[in-house]
Chains A and B, each alone.
Chain A
């Protein structure tokens, strides 16, 4: 194809999501070529170091090494060092979320903008803490900054609201933005089992983290609401502006009583210009938000189009990488 555009990029963070991105880039190589894009990953960085090749690293080899050796590190380089020393235009930032300091992700993003690079990320921490600072830095650098994967995994919320529904004033977004909580509440009702028992099951299945606080206390949902509030409603808020109640007190008896009256209890995140809140709520069984299992769902209340509801897989490496891929194509594809 004529006019093939080569995009040089780095993948910072090579955990489940970073590896998912690598797999999707391999999987979609031909598709990307068909739309005139060639992706050249010049560096992959994990917590132990980096593998760098300006001519393009072998992603299949990186995935194999990560699986066998636990790291891709060949050189002792950090993300920020790679950003500053290796020539490329896009940083795919998939390091773990840290909502206290912003973690490596915040440093990576700031360094990327300082050096005029574009950023696509799945990392909520920096956006929850420093949304304005980051968007300002991106704007000043003339960089693209996209983060669809931070909210709802593969479920398109941010781009749907800001692009597809552009011009349509939005009143609120309500939804289930944490698959772990949704799984726990669904299973508690189905099994009439206690919160503790189902939490243990979720940990065993790898649905809940070893330290599930972040999910079950509603913190994860609150962070996603902060991103939606800033990115879609144009607010300037942080985590402390969210009223948060988690699901740790929910009992199987409460779920059963609610069910007998036609309701399920779901952890609902709600954002509008007036308030941002996470709390367990009673949802009618046939309501579009009453989705089961680990699914996420968001209902956008619009001025012209009424309620628009999307459902999707909120987590999973490939699903999250799908949102990263769509951000990638949005930046570099011919529009």
Chain B
């Protein structure tokens, strides 16, 4: 699973290495590191945001190890979604299982459907849905759209994507 972690480093050399060592030791896959060197906390430490992919059981162990190394772990959170788009689906959106369509995205762990508007004007008429997908990063968003594309093709749904997205 993917988790985000906010940590604080002392402003002395070698701190980043101490922070990354436990991740490598417990085979966590580091997705992003945002090192806010210019932003100091009131404690004069440097805030760092990490997104990593690891087994759920490793999270507590990594956290303990970081603290053992003198690194303050401020927050361990659910995914930090930074990318978001709207997609329109047209077709028999409900009859072909809207829940299943959403599940396909949600179960990825890196993207999820966070909003849904639905219109069903009549039983024989095409339904329209507008869904909002949040994802951890741009690549993840693209992967989520690829999944949605496959699902839409299978369910004969027309998928209308934003103009700035690679269709």
Give me the interface of A with B, judged by CB distance under 8 Å. Answer: 174, 245, 249-251, 253-254, 256-258, 260-261, 263, 265-266, 268, 277, 279-284, 287, 289
30 contacts between A and B (CB under 8 A): A174-B163, A249-B90, A249-B126, A249-B158, A250-B90, A250-B158, A250-B160, A251-B126, A251-B128, A254-B88, A254-B119, A254-B130, A257-B88, A257-B117, A257-B128, A258-B86, A258-B88, A258-B130, A258-B160, A260-B117, A268-B163, A279-B160, A279-B161, A281-B161, A282-B87, A282-B161, A282-B162, A283-B162, A283-B163, A287-B163
The 9 closest A-B pairs by CB, nearest first: A253-B119, A254-B128, A257-B130, A253-B128, A281-B163, A282-B162, A249-B158, A251-B128, A280-B160
For the complex, give the distance between the alpha carbons of A245 and B90 in Å. 13
CB distance from B143 to the nearest CB of A (A): 18
Q: Could you say which residues of chain B place their CB within 8 Å of the CB of A280?
A: 158, 160
Q: Which residue of A lies closest to B115 (CB)?
A: A261
- Count of A-B contacts judged by CB separation below 8 Å: 68
A261:B86 contact, CB within 8 angstroms: yes
Query: Counting CB contacts under 8 A, is B167 at the interface?
Result: yes
Query: Within the complex, which residue of B86, B87, B121, B163 is in contact with A253, where a contact is CB–CB below 8 Å?
Result: B121
B91 at the interface (CB under 8 A from A): yes
Near A by CB (< 8 A), chain B positions 89-138 give: 90-91, 117, 119, 121, 125-130
Residue of A nearest to B88 (CB): A254
Residue of A263, A277, A279, A282 most packed against chain B (CB within 10 A): A282
What are the residues of chain A within 8 A of B126 when measuring CB–CB?
249, 251
A250-B158, A253-B128, A254-B130 given; name 15 further pairs at CB < 8 Å. A249-B91, A249-B158, A251-B121, A253-B119, A253-B121, A254-B119, A263-B162, A277-B167, A279-B161, A280-B158, A281-B167, A282-B86, A282-B163, A283-B162, A283-B163
* Bound form: Cα–Cα A99–B33 in Å: 54
A281 touches B86 (CB 8 A): no
Report A-chain residues with C-beta under 8 Å of the C-beta of B127: 253
Q: Tell me the complex Cα distance, A260–B130, Å.
A: 10
Taking a contact as CB atoms closer than 8 A, the residue among A277, A282, A284 that contacts B88 in the complex is A282
Residues of A within 8 A of B125 (CB): 251
B residues 134-167 touching A (CB-CB < 8 Å): 158, 160-163, 167
Most buried by B among A257, A265, A268: A257
Contacts of B87 in A (CB 8 A): 282
Bound-complex Cα distance A174 to B119 (A): 30
